Every structure is written in C-alpha cells, then in structure tokens.
Chains A and B, each alone.
Chain A
Amino acid sequence: MTEKIYAGTPVSCNDEGYLNDLEQWNREVGADIASEENIEMSERHWEVITFLQNQYRNEIPLTIRKVGKSGVVTIKEFYSLFPGGPLKKASRIAGIPKPVSCI
C-alpha cells in the first residue's frame, strides 16, 4: 500500500498503482494516471471510463468480451484508445481494481 500524489492530492494505491478506493477518484486524478500511461484523454476515453466505473459499482465483472459487447466501444476501438493492455490500463485510469481473468 502506498500513497501517491495525483492532481495535487494524496491518493491511496496498491503496489501495481491501482487506486484502493474509487471515492478518491476524480477526472483530474484519472487524467494524471493516464499521462503516466502515455495516454491523452479525450471525451471518447471518458465515455469508456464512465462505463467501466458503472459496471464496477454494479459489481459486474469486466472482461474484454463484455466491453466489446456493451455497445459503448468495440474491442478494436478499445485497443486503439488504450494501446497495450486496454482493460488493465483503462481500469487503472478509472480508479477501479485490476481485473483478474478467471481460474
């Protein structure tokens, strides 16, 4: 458990840099984390982030397949918005836990 400064305020993170508490998140915090991932946020990015946060609040487990079928973003676009590991990076920017693929 570490504390990091994002958007000028201390935020509690785990060892992999994921927020421990979504309550400490705001857009500025998200944008700061995004810049660490070399991503510049656009409105399109935020739409995806909002979707992920809503899923998390409703306790719906996230997978790439589910994001692709959501109608919010295609898998292809998801990859182009968050290159590399889209679900891992987007989850970190969204302030929600790292998704773990099942057993």
Chain B
Amino acid sequence: MKMRNLLILGAGTSGTMMANHLRKKLKKNDWNITIVDKDETHYYQPGFLFLPFDIYKPKQVKKSIDKFIPKGVKLIREKIDRIDKDLDLVYLQDGSKLHYDILIIATGVDIQPEEVEGLKGDEWYKSIFDFYTYEGAKQLRDKLRKWEGGKLVVHICEMPIKCPVAPLEFAFLADSYFINKGMREKVDISYVTPMDAAFTKPIAAKELGHLLKEKNIKLIPNFNIESVDSDHNKIIDYGGAEVEYDLLVTVPTNMGDPMIERSGIGDDLNYVPTDKATLQTKIKDNIFAIGDATNIPASKAGSVAHFESEILTENILRYIEGEALKSSFDGHANCFVETGHGKAILIDFNYTHEPVTGTFPLPGVGPLRLLKESHMNHMGKLAFRWIYWNMLIKGKHIPFVSAEMATAGKDIDKVETIVDKKIKETTTIH
C-alpha cells in the first residue's frame, strides 16, 4: 500500500497532543505524520497569568517545541503560507509544498491589538499592556515591579477570547499583589468588559461578580471599545462612554492565524468553521480542526483542546476506516480560576451544563470543590503545570477525568430549572 500523509499545522498545545496520540495509533508503515510550526518555543500559556506578579519565573513557562514531538513525527520549522483545499496541498513560505491525505488545523489564535484604534501606539508596553503573550507578560511584570499606583483598568476588547476567565483572574491576583506590597489603597482597580456581567455563564457570573465586589474591584459591563486615547489616558466605547486609566491591561481582539484568511477558509475572525461535535471542518471532509483555531462555541482553552484531542483521535481513525464519525464532543471545559491569596475556584462545564457547585473529580469525595474558593483548588492549579508538561501534551490520559463531562457529584438538580430556562433563550453565538 502507498504511504499516506497526515499533516498537522501548528505545534502548540493541540497540535502536539494530536501528534502524540496519532503516532501511537497509526502504523508507521502506512502513515507519515508531519507537523509544521515556525516557532522554536512551546509556551505553557496558563503561566502567562502568573508572570506579571512574579509568581512564576520565565523559564518555568517555556520549553523547546522539539522536546514534545514524538519519534516518528517529522517536524518542519517553517511559516505556513496557505492551504489549497482543492488540491490537498499546503504551501510553506519557502516555496515548498506538502501533500496530505488528512489535514489537522491547530494554528490557534493570537492577539491583534491593531484591531482597536490607538491601542498599539507609542504607549504600547509603556502604559498599555497585554499579558496574553510571553513578551507582554514579561514587560508587564517589569512595569508592576516599579509602578507606584493609580488607576488600573483590566479590560477585554471583544469576545471570544482565549481562556475567558484569565482577565478576571488577573484582576483578582492584582488585588492580592498590591495588598501584599502594602499599597492596595493607592490602586483603584476596574474590570471593563463588553459582556453584560463578569462571565459568560450566569451562575458563575454571579459567584464571580460577588468576588469582584468583595475585593473592591469595580465592574464596568457592556463596554464595547471603539478607540484608545493614549494622550489623555482613556478608553472610549462606541456609545461615547469613557474610562480613564493610568495602567491599561487589555486583552486585544483574538483572531485565528492570518494563514486561514490567505487560504480563504475562515470566518470574520479567521476561525475555521468546524462541526462542534465531530471536529471535522465544514471546509472539506479530509480537513479537521482542533483547539483555539475552530469556531465551535466552546471555551478557547487547553482543557477543551485536551478533551477534543481524545475525540478527534478516535474520529480520525474512524475516518480512515470509512466509518461514521462519533458526534461526542460536548464542549467540556475544566478551569481553575485563581481568586488571589492562595485560593482558586474550579469550574467544569460544557455546551449545555453551566458550571455548578459539587465535588471533582470523584463524585461526593473531591478532593476539589466546584465553584467554591479553596486553597486545594489553588494547589490544583499550580500542580497543573506539571501535568501539562509531563502528561497532557504528551497525550497521556489524565486519571478520573473523561473527555465527556460527568454530572455525578454535581449539584445540578438545584440549578437545572434556571439553566434550562437560560439555554432556551440562548442561541449559540460566536
């Protein structure tokens, strides 16, 4: 039989997991596996949240990409020019082309500060920062070390964003950071969001909204930014509302890779139209997508990519065998939300079930408590860095945590009626 080619675009969290899963499953005599990425460094992106506060050191959040690509998978370090879906070809920037039988798009998202007028001007990395990139998080750390206080504005430009709880966690951690430095009274913290509450899911939004109040963080909802006036230190929304800042920490618009646009296959944010249950793209049957690169209505987060990777692996095997794909991805997400002072909240949810209270991962036992602040949850978050580097991206199964969300141990009955009602009102919108 002729050798066939499986090509993975992107060696981040999703792409690396897929390379590890599939190399174990596909016969080396039948299938070549190739992965393409222009970068040399694999970042532990959840760690970017801790860098600005000197909780993590830079070296704890980066390792070489090569280290995680298994034997038997060819890594090509080159920029991707575009996909030609009709010819089953991917063109690289150096002019070479790769033919594939199956393509997996795992090119993720990146921030695009240029999308908002005035954001990436002279004040970028002076009084305006992001913490979604390694560079931004490090620059912000240096700024915070010497900042003497004033108005700190934590801000989201537009949804969807990668790890939607991260900006909230940033606000909580900033509160602890300035308390520990003995200067909390010199800092006025606001949380400015285009959403109408602190979070997208109503029950968690209520719980997290309380925490904002408790920590004296002002919530400014429904703010759709039009521009930044960095001469007068203020952000302005389309309705004319203004918020002043001394230090602006923003999450710029998140967009898929420009390669998606060059290939003519994305939506207006360069996300790839993808079936939310099977992860097959709507572009062509032999193209699949995973992680942040897709347009599915699930959180853009590593935990989601992890759950997706188990289902996508099975579906690719089914596709090769000519069997029907398994429609089982349920949007499962599992996130630790840092709330400051050595505590965290754990949330576990999917397309249809909101985050609720209960125990995790063992029903009735825990040891982690859902949607409640605890030190144990914080330890879980810190332990997760080890799990990420040693298990998750290597494609090892994490004990007790299945790809499909479990409902046992959760106080779902109490909220089911409210949730049902909310779901009925909800059209999944991106």
Contacts and interface: CB of A to CB of B under 8 A. Distances in A.
A75 B222 CA distance: 15
B194 A65 contact: no
Chain B interface bracket (under 10, 10 to 19, 20 to 34, 35 or more):
20 to 34
A75 B237 CA distance: 11
B238 A103 contact: no
Interface in B197-212: 200-201
B429 A14 contact: no
B429 A100 contact: yes
A10 interface: no
A84 B430 CA distance: 21
A48 interface: no
Contact of A65 (B222, B226, B239, B269): B269
B298 A103 contact: yes
Chain A interface bracket (under 10, 10 to 19, 20 to 34, 35 or more):
20 to 34
B239 A61 contact: no
A99 B195 CA distance: 11
Could you tell me the dominant secondary structure of chain B's interface residues? loop
Nearest to B299: A103
Interface string B138-169: 00000000000000000000111000100000
B224 interface: yes
Given A65-B158, A65-B269, A101 B427 contact: no
A84 B224 CA distance: 10
Given A65-B269, A75-B226, A76-B226, A102 B429 contact: yes
Interface in B374-430: 425-430
A86 to B, nearest CB: 8
Nearest to A70: B268
Contacts of B298: 103
A44 interface: no
A64 B240 CA distance: 16
Could you tell me the dominant secondary structure of chain A's interface residues? loop
A103 B160 contact: yes
Contacts of B201: 103
A16 B429 contact: no
Interface string A67-103: 0010000011011000111100000000001111111
Given A69-B268, A103-B297, A63 B430 contact: yes
Interface in A9-33: 14, 16, 18
21 contacts: A16-B425, A18-B425, A61-B428, A62-B429, A63-B430, A65-B158, A78-B238, A84-B239, A86-B238, A97-B427, A100-B200, A100-B428, A101-B159, A101-B194, A101-B195, A101-B429, A102-B428, A103-B200, A103-B201, A103-B299, A103-B333
What 3 A-B pairs come out closest when comparing CB atoms? A61-B429, A79-B238, A101-B159
Interface of B: 158-160, 164, 194-196, 200-201, 222, 224, 226, 238-240, 268-269, 297-299, 331, 333, 425-430
